[in-house]
Structures are given as C-alpha cells and as structure tokens.
Amino acid sequence: MARGEINVRYTQASPTRAASAVHLTLTAQILSLGALVSFELSRGRRLAAELAAFGGRPQGADAEAVVGAVTLFAVLMMLVAGTTIAAAAAYVTWLVRARQANDRSAATAPVAAAWLLPGVNLIAPAVLVDEVWRGTRPPAGRRGRWLALLAGWWAAWLGTIALFTIRLPLDASAGDLTGVGVPELACASVAALLCGCTVRELTRLQRAARSARPVEAGTVHTFSPQAPQPAPGSTAVGRTS
C-alpha cells in the first residue's frame, strides 16, 4: 500500500455528521418535551384527578375515557426519555470526534468523566468544549463572542437541570402529572438552541481549518501512465542508427 493511501486513510475528518445528529436529536427532544407540556396544560390536572378518583387503577365503563389519555401520556413520556438519551449520546459522540479532529490521539475517557462525575460535570464539559475551540486556532478577535455563547449555553443548561431536579420536587402544586410546564420548556429550548450554536460554530471552524491546511509533501501521490523521459543531454540506450 502506498504511503499516500495510508495518510489519507488515517486523516481525521471534520465531525460534520456527528454535528448534524446533535441538531436533529436536540430538535426532537424539544418537540417531544413541548408535546408533553401541552398535554400537561390541557389534560394533565384533570387526568391526575381522575386517576386519584380511581385509585390509580381505572376500571369499568366510566374509566374507558381515561385509558386513552393515560396511554398518550405514557407515549409522550417515553418520547421525552428516548429523545433525551439520543441527544446525550449524539452530543458525546460529537464531542469525542471534535477533540480527535484537533488531535488524533485525544482519548475518550476525559469526555465520559466530564459528564458522569458528580460535581465535575458542573463545569468540566464546558471546559472541554472551550478546549476544542482553542484547538481550532480561530481568527483573532473572536474570543469574547465565543465565551459569551459558551457561558450562555452552560448557564441555560444548569438552569434546566435545576428546574427539573430542584423546583419540580419542591413544587407545591401537586395536582399535575409531572409538574413540567412552560418554565422548563423555555429553559430547555434556550439551552438546546445555544448548544446547537456552539456545535455549529466549532464545526464551521474545524471545516475552515481543514480546507485551509496545506497538503503535506508525500501525502497524496499521483501516478502517470507515461514512461519517464530521459534527462536533457543523455543518450538513449539501444538506439539504432
């Protein structure tokens, strides 16, 4: 195998597909969460009261109208859970590939640790993303704009986590099914939007850096079918007079 073929095979590509997966799954997550919030606002409180009246187990002819609503609620909950897991997996995959696009030897363990270790995951993911941004060697003068975008995304993300893990359990209005409402949807939507913007910005910078990178000598080889020409002044061997 030619050396040029080996170099081309192991050249790290810009993680464009992984970025597209992040945008798609984030959109699906917000849409499913919006559907759940709409159901809560229109039917949730009444359905919770009906389930309480049936003791949590609807039976008989009077309970048939409740079964459809319960089924829809269960489907919406599964959609929210499924799209959230998909968005998390897509984002982690993108972050790993984005780091490896800057440094082919970058390990995946720091990404997992940054998101999974309690306490560390409050700041480490944003630090890793900023590390990727600095590794793209962006043009001068963009640092302030980038830090504002990164800080806005991370603040919105922490606010979403706080709403779901702190406010909902402490909410005094116990008459709803889950308690998820407009504040949670709004905060999650802002976090998803800003997250998508950071992914798009980094992907654009990496693609620009890749296209501007000069081709190294020996990376690509071209083979000509023509026979080599003799050097000027040399005498061809075997020519007959």
For position 3, what pLDDT does the model report?
45
For the chain, 241 residues long, give each residue's pLDDT as a single digit of tens: 444 433 433 344 458 899 999 999 999 999 999 999 999 888 877 777 777 776 656 565 556 667 778 888 899 999 999 999 999 999 999 999 999 999 888 899 999 999 999 999 999 999 999 999 999 988 888 899 999 999 999 999 999 999 998 877 766 555 667 888 899 999 999 999 999 999 999 999 998 888 866 544 444 444 444 444 555 554 444 444 4
Distance CA 221, CA 112 (A): 39
Nearest-Å Rg of the Cα atoms of the chain is 28
Distance CA 22, CA 97 (A): 12
Pair 127, 99: CB distance under 8 Å: no
For position 57, what pLDDT does the model report?
60
User: For residue 72, what are the contacts with CB-CB under 8 A and spacing of at least 6?
Assistant: 39
**pTM metric for this prediction:** 0.78
Residue with tokens 């690509």: 220
Pair 220, 4: CB distance under 8 Å: yes
Find, among 59, 2, 8, 1, the residue nearest to 216 by Cα.
8
Distance CA 186, CA 156 (A): 10
Concatenate the DSSP letters of all residues of 17-81 into one string. HHHHHHHHHHHHHHHHHHHHHHHIIIIIHHHHHHHHHTTT---SGGGHHHHHHHHHHHHHHHHHH
User: For residue 237, what are the contacts with CB-CB under 8 A and spacing of at least 6?
Assistant: none
- pLDDT tens for 45-100 read 777 777 777 665 656 555 666 777 888 889 999 999 999 999 999 999 999 999 99
DSSP H/E element including 194: helix 182-212
For position 14, what pLDDT does the model report?
56
Structure tokens at 53: 């009246």
Three-state SS at 239: coil
